[in-house]
Structure 1
Amino acid sequence: MIGLVLAAGAGRRLRPYTDTLPKALVPVDGETTVLDLTLGNFAEVGLTDAAVVIGYRGEAVVERRAALEKKYGVKLHLVENDKAEEWNNAYSLWCARDVIKEGVILANGDTVHPVSVEQTLLAARGAGQRIILALDTVKSLADEEMKVITAEGKGVQRITKLMDPAAATGEYIGVTLIEPEAAEPLADALRATYERDPQLYYEDGYQELVDRGFTVDVAPIGEVSWVEIDNHDDLAKARGIACQY
């Protein structure tokens, strides 16, 4: 199993930081970035290889590659998303379809979270699960969150931002464990998703899988401080959280 980070998006709501950097390289604790924190988490749970999907300002990741490898002891493989500024992240994850065949812990490049999330996902393996989503069942939800409805013994029934927050079981935080045997069905679902609409999210690909009868499981992460960085308010929250880790 290896790590996988989606770091191709433009992050326009974080300008001027993202005028020259992808969102994953915006500092959240001194010079420490989201990518630093994520690679540190991967290393702490014993992963020695990681892939990073790059696109917008990808040269900034290329420039830091050797330093990141040395700092975290993780060999980095870079995957190019050729439509990063045009299409959404369903296509971005599809670009990493060959990497997923290794089995991955996927982390969004804009999610600040502690290593306990990766530890929770790894501890949840072993009962035939092929895809396990990290789920926050504690946080109060609003319209912007990626909300999930689950059913006992059946896993995810619905995953979308477009639902009544009161109906949701919890929020998907942008970290997933994907076993190798899920790679081909997931790649096919992602392709169907971005071909239907290139602006769809990879979570819409998860929904496509569910609609096809594939079980997508969840692992509640407990009461954990984390944040998805979409804008400057989120960045301020991330800086308050990142310094705790």
Structure 2
Amino acid sequence: MKALIFAAGLGTRLRPLTDNKPKALVEVAGKTLLQRAIEKVSSAGFEEIVVNIHHFGDQIIDFLERNNNFGLDIRISDERDELLDTGGGILKARPLLEDSEPFLVYNVDVLCSLDLKKLLQWHKERKALATLVVRRRDTSRYLLFDEDMQLSGWTNIKTGEVKMARQTPKVEKFAFSGIHIIEPSVFPLITETGKFPIIHMYLRLAAQNAIYGFEDTSDLWMDLGKLEQLQVAEERLSE
């Protein structure tokens, strides 16, 4: 099975650590974020991995070569000319991801204990076009789901902005966790081009397609793209 690890980000929230290296190569408890992400997805059976690169992309290529791709089939989706955001990044990697099976998308700065095999099974049982991992946590932007956990909208609670994809009697808000499972059949449905966020595409497709949220209630999820969270993770993983 295939997985796309998003490793192209600028890592602005991790400065000064990312002034001379990509976020993916920042270390926590003796391992880079990229190595931890590779180990996480490959342990769940996703052994054909695509890594997208932009900021200090050459360093990521060198790191993978020095480690013999960790014994896996790892390919590069090169965004060094232009950073394409999440939606554009997936579209750019299309030739490397198209298959008969769903693929995993995983943010390199996520540290979690989620069972990815369970996520994949849940996705298949619902015959979803895409399944987004979500949690109940505080944030400024939320995805809105109906009682069946189908994506219905999005809101920014700071600005009051709301975007509805489907009208439902009741919605519940969840925070996106940076992990999703996507069917390759999504590619012909993508009308966006260039640089665009994946959430906008999901909202457009949700009106007529099965896009679900999977509530992650596992004991660990951290956004290591923030310095303070990186320090907490360092302490937790070193125990």
**TM-score, L = length of structure 1:** 0.81
Mark the CA change 1:224 to 1:148 in structure 2 (over 3 Å): closer, same or farther: farther
Q: CA deviation at 1:99?
A: 2.9
The one of 176, 181, 184 equivalent to 1:177 is 181
Q: Is the 8 A contact 2:47 2:72 kept in 1?
A: yes
Q: Aligned partners of 1:224, 1:41: CA distance in 2, in Å?
A: 16
Q: Percent identity?
A: 20
> Where do 1:29-48 residues align within 5 Å?
29-30=29-30, 32-48=31-47
* Residues 66-116 of structure 1 deviation map (CA, whole Å, 9 limit, x = unaligned): 344453x321100011212xx5333223211223323311001221222x3
How is 1:3-14 mapped onto 2 (pairs within 5 angstroms)? 3-14=3-14
User: Residues of 2 paired with 1:240 and 1:156: CA distance?
Assistant: 36
Q: Which amino acid aligns with 1:122?
A: L
- Offset from partner CA, 1:22-55 (integer Å, 9 cap, x none): 112111111x122111111122112221000111
Aligned partner of 2:54 in structure 1 is 55
Higher alpha-carbon Rg: 2
Kindly tell me: are residues 133 and 53 of structure 1, through their superposed partners in 2, closer, same or farther at Cα, counting changes over 3 Å?
same
Note if 1:216 corresponds to 2:211.
yes
- Partners of 1:98 and 1:58 lie apart in 2 by 20
Look up the match of 1:16.
16
More helix per residue: 1 or 2? 1
- 1:136·1:170 contact (CA, 8 Å) conserved in 2? yes
Q: In the alignment, which of 187, 200, 203 is matched to residue 204 of structure 1?
A: 200
Structure 1 gaps, min length 5? none
CA distance in 1, matches of 2:155, 2:191: 16
Residue 96 of structure 1 is matched in structure 2 by: 93
* 8 A contact 2:142–2:156 mirrored in 1: yes
- RMSD (CA atoms): 2.5
How far apart are residue 147 of structure 1 and its match? Answer: 1.7
The aligned residue for residue 163 of structure 2 is none
TM-score relative to the length of structure 2: 0.83
Provide closer, same or farther for how the CA distance between residues 205 and 69 of structure 1 changes in structure 2, counting only shifts above 3 A: farther
- Name stretches of at least 5 consecutive residues in structure 2 with no aligned partner: 161-170
Tell me the matched-pair count: 225
State how 1:1-245 maps to structure 2 within 5 Å: 1-30=1-30, 32-71=31-70, 73-81=71-79, 82-84=81-83, 88-102=85-99, 103-114=102-113, 116-124=114-122, 125-137=124-136, 139=137, 141-143=138-140, 146-153=141-148, 155-159=150-154, 161=156, 168-185=172-189, 188-191=190-193, 198=195, 200-211=196-207, 213-243=208-238
SS state at 2:88 partner: helix
Inter-CA distance 69–47: structure 2 relative to 1 (3 Å threshold): farther
